Amino acid sequence: MTKAEVINNLSKHLLWDVDINDLDVDKNARYIIQRVLEYGELEDWKLIKQYYGLDKIVEECKQMRDLDPVSLAFICFISKTNKEDYRCYHTRQSNPTPWNS
């Protein structure tokens, strides 16, 4: 699968705020993975899993500063990893919001 095929087959609502002609699937992998995890559909997930592979997705997710709790739970379940291994988990713990305590 080529880079152009990946971008063109993703749901259009995922990349509404960027020019897809300037988007590089490899350089912007973390951005694309986060968008798919948080807002994507099952077909988008299958597409990035086929292109990047689960190991690459997990490694990118572990470096994300912000990933919503549902997406974090999903990636932990799929990859059989612990949420404590992810940067976003520790960032959220360090900066609790007063209304969620």
Residue 36 has pLDDT above 90, yes or no: yes
**Hey, what are 82's tokens?**
């612990």
C-alpha angle with apex 89: 16 to 77, nearest 5 degrees? 80
pLDDT band at 14 (very low <50, low <70, confident <90, very high): very high
pLDDT tens for 44-100 read 999 999 999 999 999 999 999 999 999 999 999 999 999 999 998 887 666 666 665
The answer to whether 79 and 59 have CB atoms below 8 angstroms apart is no
Residue 21: its pLDDT value, please? 86
**Hey, what are 86's tokens?**
């992810």
Considering only CA atoms, which of 71, 26, 21 is closest in space to residue 51? 26
Q: Rounded CA gap, 67 and 34, in Å?
A: 7
- Quick one: CA dihedral 92, 93, 99, 101, positive or negative? positive
